[in-house]
Amino acid sequence: MDTKKLHLEDIYKSYDGKIILDDIDLSVSSGELCTLVGPSGCGKSTLLRLILGQELPDRGHISIDGEAVGPPDPHRGIVYQKYSLFPNRSVLENVMLGKVYSEGRWWNPFARNQHFKEEAMAYLERVRLADACHKYPHELSGGMQQRVAIAQALIMKPPILLMDEPFGALDPDTRDELQMFLLELWDQENLTIFFVTHDLIEACFLGSRLLVLSQYYTDGRGDDATRGGKIIADHQLSSAPSSMAVKESAEFQRLIHQVRDEGFDPNVRQHVNAFNLNHPDSFRTLNPAESGD
């Protein structure tokens, strides 16, 4: 049996009695760039925290490479919107941090670690920042800081790279530049990426697979039922775009409008049996009340 890089089944999560995630089923193969998008309040950040291990689901199972997800550890790579860099450390030292602390060198972290320095420099080469290795975060642009954060995550060789609105604080031009950079890095390194964004255009542009999480749907539980977010669409997209011009194409615009109708319009509520789950790895486990059986 093929072990998926990421697998979630029957995931439920609520806070103070309010359902946030309502039976999430997801299976992700190695090498995919999954983007997750949805309206405010659908549970995107909650789902990411569950995968990271910061929180536990009320019910259900989450695994990475066939192993149950535990608490966060240095090998669970994540890049946040707010740069995770220490201002008093150089770029090189920031990239080295995960390695030296995972080796228990916290008392003198940068002494006698030439092999870590060489590895960190190799990752800075990959993100095109080797020339900035001795600079400090305040000397870098926002886009450069985010590339350092990506190198900081990748040096730990995470099985899956989690990204939480990583380009949300950048200006439009820098955001475009980082989107193209991420696509190049994903292709070159054969990364598996789970990318959460509130930006529908970004999600449609970046993803090899586009997941739409939404609380706007209906099922057999009746009009008065309280519902949390479900994956209501799972699109298999074409190969990585080679330029920003793709965003102006008629095909891209049709995808944008389709996803808006599927998950963002509270007046358009598909029945759970009609969800657009056309990706080969897509599956769902509905209870009889949800399906109306």
Per-residue pLDDT tens digits for 79-98: 987 767 899 999 999 999 88
- Helix/strand number for the chain, H first, E second: 8, 13
pLDDT in tens, 184-242: 999 988 999 999 999 999 999 999 999 999 999 999 888 888 899 999 999 999 877 77
Check residue 82 and give its pLDDT: 75
Q: What is the pTM of this model?
A: 0.91
SS3 100: helix
Check residue 111 and give its pLDDT: 54
Give me the count of residues in the chain.
293
Q: Is the pLDDT assigned to residue 287 strictly greater than 90?
A: no
Whole-angstrom distance, CA of residue 92 vs CA of residue 55: 31
Q: Is the dihedral of CA 163, 164, 169, 172 positive or negative?
A: positive
